[in-house]
Chain A
Amino acid sequence: MGDMLEVFLNEARDLLEQLEAALLDLEKRPGDRELVNTTFRALHTLKGSGGMFGPPAMAAFAHELENAFEKVRQDRAPVTPNLVSLLLQSADQIRKLLFESAGDHSAESARLAAALAEEVGMDGTAAPAAASMVVASAAVAPAEATRTWRIRLALERSALAFGTNPLSLFDELRELGTLSVRADADALPALDALVPTEFHLVFHLDLETAAPRSAIEDVFIFVDGPDAVRIEDIAAAPASAPAPVAEPVAETVAPVASAPAAPASKAAAPTEARSGDVPRADAHVRVSASRLDTLLDQVGELVIAQARLSALARNRHDPVLIAVAEEIDRLSGDLRDSAMGMRMVPIEQLFGRYRRVVRDLSSDLGKEIDLSFSGEDTELDKTVLDRLGDPLVHIIRNSIDHGIESAERRDAAGKPKRGSLHLAARQVGTEVQIEIADDGAGLNRARILEKAVAAGVVADGTVPSDREIDELIFHPGLSTAAAVSNLSGRGVGMDVVKRTIGELHGTIDIDTRPGEGTRFVLRLPLTLAIIDGLEVAVGETHCILPLTSVEECVELATVQSRSSGGRNFVDIRGTLVPLLWAGEVFGGRREGAIVVVAQNDAGKLGIVVDQVVGQHQTVIKPLSPLHASIGGLVGSTILGDGSVALILDVNSLARHAAKTPAAADSLAA
């Protein structure tokens, strides 16, 4: 039972997100029938499973919502901005009822239910009419001219497994009028290839009814799949003249629906009877993140054991053993990629949530804001994604609250009245970059400096650079909002944002132009789990460089090295590449034999190491809090011989080196 509750709560969380997304779309396109249906489905499922597993107060409230929205679905009430607002608040209310069991929410539930009822023109609470009753009454309703509708119902092959029962659909249609059913069994495979749980029949239905088209569509509201249902109006038939045109199909009546299950005895071979002209349902399995973590840990152990095996095979010089080791190497690589892939989620999931945030904020502040996205399909490890949620909300709040000006001020500055906020994501090598860009006033540097001086963060009289001033917004204890509004004062400050990003081994940069806007750029590692790595030796320490950022390795002795202005470069096929001496970063001396040419976000960088050892799949073991803040390191790993190697990150190594005075002169800015 505890498990069921867990499943229900997870499902409810997703449904609420779907509901919000649909509502926000609906606000923009109030006439979109499909969105109305999506909204209704979400509400209906919430009510249904809430009735089974949820607290009674939540089930009752969801029921009220469904009733109110039923009016919209029947086109008896329009979709108004006010309705959408009420429904969004109701979604929040359901969240409260589900996840904040403490406290009494009944007053708010009653208020929302009443407001909704009024909005859609229902008389208060006196309408416990469930969906089926409404459908039934529609059949009895006004005596319009009857029409004949031809319906083609081609269910997904997996429809039975998902609980669709054609018989009950027919029963519902019969409540609307006179129905004749013909089954087209052409697609039915031969008996020995028949899988009894798969569905192959196509139904041709003729329905003679006075009910409107929407009533028929309602019957099929839970039938999924593209093109599963086609409804055509074939004739406005006089009250009693069915006479469907004879078609060259086996004419059978409804009971045939159970036929595919009958000749089941010899259905052994589940062959692909027809090669996919029916698109397969995109079936999902819900797996808890902790089980994925376990899987990934195990794959990690496998990869480490595999590295040991490879080392052993090489030392034995046994070609057969080496061949097996290579095969296992390849397989474990594939396994790793699959396991990793399961953890990757499109960033869309995160961006989608912010539509609500932006909508609420812009209406609270009376600023009209266009939110746009790009690169929503960029994938990111779920762990990273989950932890990004709050920091991004905070940046977005800041952009809207402090960045984007009021419509009057924008007008006066000659900008479009509507502010714009753009969220972008893209993958660059092993990093994902996320940008939050507004077209507001930019950071108010004078005010930030004033505050910093007042707070004693910056000594009076010093003149920091613009960049240093911008960085001050990440300083704990500096809030630039003159008054703490309920938006900017929600607990987390920009210092927490920076710390959270840092804990994810990411960085955050600001690019602000007075009068034109502010852009926050977050750089995050793609994953926290396994990478392909190049093993190098720096002194006695073995290090791993992510292979995706490595372009080539050259011997230092074979390339021309020059220095200019105290900086060191090598000339690689005509390109000057700045050098970073790994030994020096490690507190040792400026020496080494091999230049590993790597690509970082500022261009090419030559990392000088003593030796290149080889190429490995590398399980990233996170560093403990004692070492997590060391620049240039993203983690550690265990090598085939059991020793620990350090995983370097080229971007953060370059940034770290640029900040360290000892190494700064070896690196181009």
Chain B
Amino acid sequence: MTLAIDQAADPSLQDYLTVALGDDLFAIKVDLVHEVLDPPPVTRVPNAPNFAPGLVNVRGNVLPLVDLRVRFGMEPTADTASSRVIVSEVTREEGEPFQVAMRTDAVFEVIQVRRSDVAAMPENGSRWPMRFLDGVVRQDDRFVTLLDVSEVFRDA
């Protein structure tokens, strides 16, 4: 409830959930996050794209499991004690919105980001596909890269 009031009071603030991929910190808009789960068992799909290797059962819905590490060009790793899956909604220009389960190395906290604090990504400072990224903010001496979830799945 306080969340709603805060937002109403200051529309320039947005809530983001911070997650880890490898050593880097990323953030996803909280509005898009349905839930955060421990990694469920995965059914591998033959001939599937590398970044979406399988399917998981989330409360009776079958969702594609997306390994964000692979989507960002990192090596896939086995699940660890801190691995979490984020269920998120993806909207695309064409077709119905759908849900995905995104595997991340860890999930931390919800932070508030002021739009005016977001800096553009440095042109050649990024190891990742630029179009997936919404910008970067400083949070307690660390850089947090904001993800554009729809972009991550466009053309996927």
Answer whether A645 and B64 are a contact pair too, CB < 8 Å, given A626-B100, A630-B48: no
User: Taking the complex as formed, is B41 at the interface, i.e. its CB lies under 8 A from any CB of chain A?
Assistant: yes
A646 adjacent to B61 (CB under 8 Å): no
User: Taking the complex as formed, is B87 at the interface, i.e. its CB lies under 8 A from any CB of chain A?
Assistant: no
A646 adjacent to B45 (CB under 8 Å): yes
User: Taking the complex as formed, is B57 at the interface, i.e. its CB lies under 8 A from any CB of chain A?
Assistant: yes
CB neighbours of B100 from chain A (8 A) = 624, 626
User: Taking the complex as formed, is A366 at the interface, i.e. its CB lies under 8 A from any CB of chain B?
Assistant: no
A626 adjacent to B156 (CB under 8 Å): yes
Most buried by B among A623, A624, A637, A638: A624
Answer whether A644 and B55 are a contact pair too, CB < 8 Å, given A624-B98, A624-B100: yes
Answer whether A643 and B57 are a contact pair too, CB < 8 Å, given A626-B52, A637-B62: yes
A626 vs B67: C-alpha distance when bound (angstroms): 12
A636 adjacent to B62 (CB under 8 Å): yes
B44 adjacent to A541 (CB under 8 Å): yes
In the complex, which residue of chain A has the Cβ closest to the Cβ of B47? A630
Tell me the smallest distance from the CB of A386 to a CB of chain B, in Å.
14
Near A by CB (< 8 A), chain B positions 36-50 give: 41, 43-49
User: Taking the complex as formed, is B114 at the interface, i.e. its CB lies under 8 A from any CB of chain A?
Assistant: no
A626 adjacent to B66 (CB under 8 Å): yes
In the complex, which residue of chain A has the Cβ closest to the Cβ of B41? A643
CB neighbours of A81 from chain B (8 A) = none
A625 adjacent to B57 (CB under 8 Å): no
A644 adjacent to B57 (CB under 8 Å): yes
CB neighbours of A585 from chain B (8 A) = 46-47
CB neighbours of B11 from chain A (8 A) = none
A630 adjacent to B57 (CB under 8 Å): no
Tell me the smallest distance from the CB of B43 to a CB of chain A, in Å.
4
User: Taking the complex as formed, is A587 at the interface, i.e. its CB lies under 8 A from any CB of chain B?
Assistant: yes
Tell me the smallest distance from the CB of B44 to a CB of chain A, in Å.
6
A621 adjacent to B62 (CB under 8 Å): yes
CB neighbours of B72 from chain A (8 A) = none
Most buried by A among B48, B55, B56, B156: B55
A637 vs B48: C-alpha distance when bound (angstroms): 17
Most buried by B among A304, A625, A626, A637: A626
A624 vs B45: C-alpha distance when bound (angstroms): 12
User: Taking the complex as formed, is A162 at the interface, i.e. its CB lies under 8 A from any CB of chain B?
Assistant: no
Tell me the smallest distance from the CB of A621 to a CB of chain B, in Å.
4
Answer whether A636 and B55 are a contact pair too, CB < 8 Å, given A627-B45, A631-B47: yes
Counting chain A residues whose Cβ lies within 8 A of the other chain, the interface size class is 20 to 34
- Within the complex, which residue of A542, A623, A630, A643 is in contact with B46, where a contact is CB–CB below 8 Å? A630
User: Taking the complex as formed, is B153 at the interface, i.e. its CB lies under 8 A from any CB of chain A?
Assistant: yes
A541 vs B53: C-alpha distance when bound (angstroms): 13
A626 adjacent to B62 (CB under 8 Å): no
CB neighbours of B60 from chain A (8 A) = 301, 304, 638
CB neighbours of A630 from chain B (8 A) = 45-48
A643 vs B52: C-alpha distance when bound (angstroms): 17
User: Taking the complex as formed, is B13 at the interface, i.e. its CB lies under 8 A from any CB of chain A?
Assistant: no
A645 adjacent to B43 (CB under 8 Å): yes
User: Taking the complex as formed, is B95 at the interface, i.e. its CB lies under 8 A from any CB of chain A?
Assistant: yes
A632 vs B45: C-alpha distance when bound (angstroms): 11
User: Taking the complex as formed, is A364 at the interface, i.e. its CB lies under 8 A from any CB of chain B?
Assistant: no
1/0 contact trace for A640-653 toward B, CB 8 Å? 00111110000000
User: Taking the complex as formed, is A247 at the interface, i.e. its CB lies under 8 A from any CB of chain B?
Assistant: no
Tell me the smallest distance from the CB of B139 to a CB of chain A, in Å.
31
A638 adjacent to B57 (CB under 8 Å): yes
User: Taking the complex as formed, is A540 at the interface, i.e. its CB lies under 8 A from any CB of chain B?
Assistant: yes
CB neighbours of A624 from chain B (8 A) = 63-64, 98-100
CB neighbours of B43 from chain A (8 A) = 541-542, 636, 643-646
Most buried by A among B48, B52, B61, B99: B48
CB neighbours of A373 from chain B (8 A) = none
User: Taking the complex as formed, is A222 at the interface, i.e. its CB lies under 8 A from any CB of chain B?
Assistant: no
5 closest cross-chain pairs (CB), A and B: A586-B46, A644-B43, A621-B62, A626-B52, A624-B64
Assuming A624-B63, A644-B56, what are 15 further A-B pairs, CB within 8 angstroms? A541-B43, A585-B46, A623-B64, A624-B64, A624-B100, A625-B95, A626-B64, A626-B66, A627-B52, A627-B64, A630-B46, A631-B47, A638-B60, A643-B41, A644-B55
A contact residues vs B (CB 8 Å cutoff): 301, 304, 540-542, 585-587, 621, 623-627, 630-633, 636-638, 642-646
B contact residues vs A (CB 8 Å cutoff): 41, 43-49, 52, 55-57, 60-64, 66, 92, 95, 98-100, 153, 156
7 contacts between A and B (CB under 8 A): A540-B44, A621-B62, A625-B92, A625-B95, A626-B64, A627-B55, A632-B46
